[in-house]
């Protein structure tokens, strides 16, 4: 065979390849263009016409921190309160979270504002405890392929925000989501939060193309995490604008009353004034794509 010769594959081999990919994730796969999932969480709808904004600190530190943040973000139009009570950290010496005490503090933030809570769950054994407080489970990047955890949250009907692993393909993300749906929980939200590449200027590299790809392949809502994607607070607004323009159903962003004193992820966290500016900054893009805040 000459170097310039072309190999022509039969049409049926291509069809089999595409069919196999879809058959791997039959519950996640979008059956037709109008096939979309809309998730109701208290008074918040995720996946509809509204672009949702989930905001709050990376880690729960105190009652004052959470209540102050919750009241401020609610006033600016946020639709959910985020905060970590359990924190999987790269270093064993970093702050690991307040555990159940942190969950109780988040619940008080919800009581004060009515905002639903999204918080990370890191172990299948914690499902019963966290489910008493959380409105949305967050599965972090490090646990995207923690299959026992995926199956455990799948046996509940609590919505699950599933973050893409730091070195995971889109297909691997879809398979992780399939684990949850296959256990009976249809309420899954996909989250692009940046992947690890050779680039070091930002914390991760946001795969903005993942948003329209996921919207084409699946019926599940898709949101973007610009805080973990960039690691730089000044980049949170422009990256969020790009995500909304690309079709994201929402943004999850880190907000702290005093980022310089934060026990986790201070450099990428917005302060309360920054968040007010952030909400004003994304509003024109939300309107331009025909959605609302």
What dotted CATH number matches 36-288? Answer: 3.20.20.70
Q: What is the pLDDT of residue 87?
A: 85
d(CA 262, CA 264): 5
Is 7 a residue whose pLDDT tops 60?
A: no
Higher local confidence (pLDDT), 21 or 255: 255
Q: Are 191 and 7 in contact (CB under 8 A)?
A: no
Mean pLDDT, residues 123-148: 97
Is 138 a residue whose pLDDT tops 70?
A: yes
**Which residues contact residue 146 at a Cβ distance below 8 angstroms, ignoring those fewer than 6 apart?**
124, 139
| Tens of pLDDT, residues 57-113 | 999 999 999 999 999 999 999 999 999 999 887 888 888 889 999 999 999 999 999
| Tens of pLDDT, residues 223-264 | 999 999 999 999 999 999 999 999 999 999 999 999 999 999
Any idea what DSSP says for residue 120? E
Bridge-partner residues for 205, per DSSP?
Answer: 195
Domain boundaries, the chain: 36-288
Query: Mean pLDDT of all residues in the chain?
Result: 93
Is 12 a residue whose pLDDT tops 50?
A: no
Instruction: Quickly count: other Cβ atoms within 10 Å of residue 157's Cβ.
Output: 12
Residue 189: strand, helix, or coil: strand
Q: What is the pLDDT of residue 88?
A: 82
d(CA 157, CA 160): 9
Is 27 a residue whose pLDDT tops 60?
A: yes
**Looking at 9-13, 27-31, 108-112, 144-148, which range is the least confident one?**
9-13
Is 278 a residue whose pLDDT tops 60?
A: yes
Q: What is the pLDDT of residue 21?
A: 61
Q: Are 241 and 282 in contact (CB under 8 A)?
A: yes
d(CA 99, CA 107): 13
d(CA 139, CA 134): 12
| Tens of pLDDT, residues 185-223 | 999 999 999 999 999 999 999 999 999 999 999 999 999
Q: What is the pLDDT of residue 1?
A: 42
């Amino acid at each position: 065979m000459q170097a310039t010769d072309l190999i022509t594959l039969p049409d049926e081999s291509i069809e089999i390849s595409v069919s196999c990919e879809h058959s791997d994730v039959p519950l996640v796969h979008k059956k037709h263009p109008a096939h979309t999932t809309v998730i109701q969480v208290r008074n918040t709808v995720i996946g509809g016409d509204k672009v949702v904004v989930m905001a709050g600190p990376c880690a729960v530190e105190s009652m004052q921190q959470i209540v102050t943040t919750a009241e401020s973000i609610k006033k600016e139009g946020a639709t959910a309160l985020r905060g970590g009570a359990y924190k999987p950290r790269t270093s064993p010496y970093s702050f690991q979270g307040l555990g159940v005490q942190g969950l109780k503090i988040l619940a008080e933030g919800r009581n004060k504002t009515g905002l639903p809570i999204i918080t990370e769950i890191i172990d299948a054994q914690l499902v019963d405890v966290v489910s008493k407080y959380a409105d949305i489970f967050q599965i972090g990047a490090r646990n995207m392929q923690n299959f026992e955890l995926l199956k455990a949250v799948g046996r509940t009907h609590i919505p699950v925000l599933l973050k893409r692993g730091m070195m995971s393909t889109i297909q691997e993300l879809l398979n992780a989501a399939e684990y949850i749906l296959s256990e009976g929980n249809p309420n899954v939200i996909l989250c692009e939060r940046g992947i690890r590449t050779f680039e070091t200027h930002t914390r991760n590299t946001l795969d903005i193309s993942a948003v329209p790809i996921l919207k084409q392949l699946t019926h599940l809502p898709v949101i973007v995490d610009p805080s973990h994607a960039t690691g730089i607070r000044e980049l949170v607004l422009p990256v969020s604008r790009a995500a909304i323009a690309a079709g994201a159903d929402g943004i999850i962003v880190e907000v702290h009353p005093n980022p310089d004193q934060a026990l986790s992820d201070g450099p990428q966290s917005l302060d309360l004034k920054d968040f007010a500016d952030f909400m004003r900054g994304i509003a024109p893009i939300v309107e331009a794509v025909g959605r609302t805040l």
